[in-house]
Amino acid sequence: MALERTLCIIKPDAVEKNTAGAVLAHLEEAGFKIVALRRTHLPKNVAEGFYAIHKARPFFGELVTFMTRSPVVVAVLEKEDAVAAYRATMGATDPAKAEAGTLRKKFGANVGENAVHGSDSLDNAKGEIAYFFPANEVAPTAG
């Protein structure tokens, strides 16, 4: 196991419901350190760029409309094996299929409005963190 960092986005549905703090508390209780944090309203071009890999998918337009409709909270999470650990903590993409106690089961509504995003690999985590946070906004690793 290695100490890793991953990107978390608390999506508009969760922020609108005033559950961003509950999501962050859940993550801290699960052992993640929040090493960078910002609330921001994504411009269309930023959401399109972030999800560029999904550009050809039929739900791309809906995804961008959703992600830009109101503010999100973006965070960098640090933990041993953070990428896999955070994916397990989020649960399946579709909240209906997510395990009990996961973030998407607790806070998500459906496959589009599923409360949180997480990086799917360490390589993508590095790119996604850099997409949102300049290096000087991310706390250095303790010790």
Can 26 be counted among the known catalytic residues?
A: no
User: Is residue 141 near ligand CMP by the rule CB under 6 A?
Assistant: no
Q: Binder to ligand CMP among 30, 63, 122, 138 (CB under 6 A)? A: 63
Number of residues that bind ligand CMP (CB under 6 A): 9
User: Is residue 102 near ligand CMP by the rule CB under 6 A?
Assistant: no
Residues 9 to 48 in contact with ligand CMP, rule: CB under 6 A:
none
- Check residue 62 and report its DSSP letter: H
Determine which one of 26, 41, 54, 117 is catalytic: 117
Spatial separation of the C-alpha atoms in residues 119 and 5, rounded to whole Å: 10
Spatial separation of the C-alpha atoms in residues 32 and 79, rounded to whole Å: 5
Pairing type for strands 72-80 and 33-40 reads antiparallel
Spatial separation of the C-alpha atoms in residues 68 and 4, rounded to whole Å: 28
Spatial separation of the C-alpha atoms in residues 87 and 72, rounded to whole Å: 19
The pair of structure tokens assigned to 49 is 């760029």
Stretch binding ligand CMP (CB under 6 A), from 22-30, 41-49, 71-79, 108-116: 108-116
Binding site for ligand CMP (CB under 6 A): 54, 59, 62-63, 93, 111-112, 114, 117
Which residues are marked as active site? Answer: 117
